């Protein structure tokens, strides 16, 4: 009998209250989705790091509009 591990999901993120998280490459793709998961996990502060200010600002605005 084979046991497959349960797929990971955002619901597996523990409570992040009081935590500060830094995400590199957070303007698109998996970096952005990681930032979303951390916000949903209740992180007190999520710092986004990207290559350009413009793309970083756009990612922050997307997060703020989705999670006011």
Residues 6-12: contacts with CB under 8 Å, at least 24 apart: 10/36, 10/37, 10/40, 10/41
Q: Residue 13's pLDDT is what?
A: 87
Q: How many CB atoms lie within 10 A of CB 51?
A: 10
What is the distance between the alpha carbons of residues 62 and 54, in angstroms, rounded to a whole number?
12
pLDDT tens digits for the chain (68 residues)? 678 888 888 888 899 999 999 999 999 999 999 999 999 999 999 999 999 999 999 999 999 999 88
Closest CA to 13 of 62, 33, 60, 65: 33
Q: Residue 1's pLDDT is what?
A: 63
Q: How many CB atoms lie within 10 A of CB 35?
A: 25
């Amino acid at each position: 009998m084979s046991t497959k591990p349960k797929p990971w999901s955002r619901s597996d993120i523990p409570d992040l209250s009081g935590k500060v998280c830094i995400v590199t490459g957070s303007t698109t793709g998996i970096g952005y989705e990681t930032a979303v998961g951390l916000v949903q996990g209740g992180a007190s502060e999520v710092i986004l790091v990207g290559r350009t200010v413009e793309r970083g600002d756009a990612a922050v605005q997307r997060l703020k509009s989705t999670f006011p």
